Amino acid sequence: MSILIKGGTILTHDDTYRGDVLLSDGLIQAVGSDLDVPANTDIIDAGGQYVMPGGIDPHTHMQLPFMGTVACDDFFTGTAAGLAGGTTSIIDFVIPQPQQGLLDAFHIWRGWAESSAADYGFHVAVTWWDDSVYEDMGTLVEKHGVNSFKHFMAYKNAIMATDDILVPSFSRCLELGAIPTVHAENGELVYHLQRKMLEMGLTGPEAHPLSRPPEVEGEAANRAIKIAQALNTPIYLVHVSTKDALDAIIYARNQGQRVYGECLTGHLLLDDSVYRDENWERAAAHVMSPPFRPKGHQEALWRGLQTGNLQTTATDHCVFCAEQKAAGADDFTLIPNGTAGVEDRMSVLWHEGVGTGKLSMNEFVAVTSTNSAKIFNMYPRKGAVAAGADADLVIWDPEGTRTISASTHHSNVDFNIFEGKTVKGIPSHTISRGKVVWKDGQLNA
């Protein structure tokens, strides 16, 4: 079955023009005007709307086993929520426990992801080191299409990668042509400050940001970037949330170093006052790492996107319901870390970015899709509106509105950090591999 998207304005990372798009067999067959259209082609009228590449969220954690529980969106519900918001691909994380084989973990995650309603890829975390990890990294790149390895510089006594892991792993990434990525927080400092908060009797969510101040991220970002520089590897920093880390990126990029940075929709909009909410459940629902930051950092992140020093936007979608968050009722360090976002990223960024003039429409496409496709080796199969690319597309209604709420979102989680926010600019249709999976508010994942 073919589909012709007719009469829309095509929006890519570098162009805006009137044109039609013909899809069949999961691929974009042609883009232009007066296309040869087979009989029985379904026509979608995209008049007054934009046709752009489906969103790529390069940072999600579906059904992640974490902090004694399991994230409550599985690969189906999480990717379905993404489709409802115009995101047609995610890159999730395989996170082996220390001493667990990387390939073993990879196959477990691949099994879970069979239920995915959208396309997915994996970053694989390096949480320990020996010769078998070195070997497995090679197999993952050469046989399984893995392009990136993740290093958690925080989470001491769990998955933290110390320098004796970062150095050989970054070096192996360079040999393989894969890109090392880091969660940049100094885990030793976090551990120390968490103990200090508890000793002071600060046990609630208000202590969470105090235990992870901006310097914690700034130090780790600098260290990771310098290690990468010494080894001559490119590096990608996930969820850059502070001016401190951004300044390290800008400095390195100005020296000609190949450093990439991602920011999260939540970090662009919210500040740390959410942790001082008198309602414990609401405050705990915002506990994620890195935390939401004091006022001022958000503006710096927007500038990072505008100047191109940050290239991608993501969500770190990793969701825990109220009863799971309650594990930390007496000790904030036990609150499972994570918030939602995969469904809301595109609309919130359009509304707050394009709607305010902070981002051009083409920059929006770049930071929501194309740049991730390029950095993680999927371009131009993903992130493009071009013949031969996967037919992952969004038809974007710039006049449509939606009021975000946990009561109407498609994720399993019972909370939304953007609750009550009305956004202008929504997907009227999402098309995944040539199939319409979201149309005028109806999800058919």
How many Å apart are CA 51 and CA 177, to the nearest integer? Answer: 33
Q: How far is the CB of 82 from Zn ion (least distance, A)?
A: 15
Enter the tokens of residue 270. Answer: 């919210």
Of 73 and 316, nearer to Zn ion (C-beta) is: 316
The total of other beta-carbon atoms located within 10 Å of residue 373's CB is: 24
DSSP β-ladder status, 50-53 and 393-403? antiparallel
Q: Which is nearer to Zn ion, 208 or 351 (CB)?
A: 208
Greatest Cα pair distance, the chain, in angstroms, is 73
Smallest distance, Å, CB 181 to ligand DUC? 12
Write down the least CB distance from residue 185 to ligand DUC, Å.
8
The contact set with Zn ion (CB under 5 A) reads 183, 316
| Residues 6+ positions from 225 with CB-CB distance below 8 Å | 235, 237, 248, 249, 252, 257, 259
d(Cα 109, Cα 141) in Å, to the nearest integer?
16
Nearer to ligand DUC (CB atom), residue 116 or residue 337? 337
Interatomic CA distance for residues 424 and 350, integer angstroms: 8
Q: Pick what 285 binds: Zn ion, ligand DUC, none; C-beta below 5 to 8 Å, kind-dependent.
A: none
Cβ closest to ligand DUC, residue 77 vs residue 432: 77
Give, for 24, the enclosing helix (H) or strand (E): strand 16-24
Q: Name which of Zn ion, ligand DUC, none residue 205 binds, using a CB cut-off of 5 to 8 Å depending on partner kind.
A: none
3-class state of residue 358 by DSSP: coil
265 or 428: whose CB is closer to ligand DUC? 265
Which of ligand DUC, Zn ion, none has residue 50 at its interface (CB below 5 to 8 Å by kind)? none
φ, ψ (nearest 5 deg) of residue 252: -65, -45
Q: Residue 338: which of ligand DUC, Zn ion, none does it interact with, CB under 5 to 8 A by kind?
A: ligand DUC
Nearer to ligand DUC, 86 or 336 (CB): 336
Task: Give me the numbers of helices (H) and strands (E) for the chain, helices first please.
Answer: 15, 19
- Give the shortest CB-426-to-ligand DUC separation in angstroms: 26
Footprint of ligand DUC (CB under 6 A): 61, 66, 183, 288-289, 316, 318, 337-338
| In the complex, least distance from residue 224 CB atom to Zn ion, rounded to whole angstroms | 13
Asked whether the beta carbons of 248 and 223 are under 8 A apart, the reply is no
242 vs 432, which CB is nearer to Zn ion? 242
Min. distance of Cβ 397 from ligand DUC in angstroms?
A: 32
Return the one option of Zn ion, ligand DUC, none that residue 170 interacts with (CB less than 5 to 8 A, by type): none
Could you tell me whether strands 69-70 and 119-125 are parallel, antiparallel, or unpaired per DSSP bridges? Answer: unpaired
Residue 335: CB minimum distance to ligand DUC, A: 10
Let me know: does 177 contact 206? Beta carbons within 8 Å: no
337 interface partner picked from Zn ion, ligand DUC, none, CB below 5 to 8 A per type: ligand DUC
